Amino acid sequence: TLAVTDDVTDARHIAIRAHYFVPVQKDGENVFPAQIVEMIESTFSMIVMLRFADGAHLVRWEVDKPAWEALHVSENASLRICFPPDALMLLRD
């Protein structure tokens, strides 16, 4: 279950910008485990493809290179990712 700030009750989907994900150390509100499937180096950032469940579609996470290097993680590593409630966009069909 996701905690959100909007009162939309008929939302069918959520969206979040690729650079709004927050890696965290502990479980908590809106924190989900993810596995790194692929890492793509760009000029100023890393594009990290995450899988949040077996068989699920990949989700793109974009993170500045200095922040990425501070995480000290590699491909196939597991992370906890937080989706901040104020960064979630609720979408209707």
Please tell me the predicted confidence (pLDDT) of residue 11: 87
Please tell me the predicted confidence (pLDDT) of residue 72: 94
Please tell me the predicted confidence (pLDDT) of residue 78: 95
Q: What's the CATH code, domain 13-91?
A: 2.40.50.100
Question: What's CA 34's distance to the chain center, in Å?
Answer: 8
Domain borders along the chain are 13-91
Average pLDDT over residues 9-24: 93
The per-residue pLDDT for range 34-83, each reduced to its tens digit, is 999 999 999 999 999 999 988 889 999 999 999 999 999 998 999 999 99
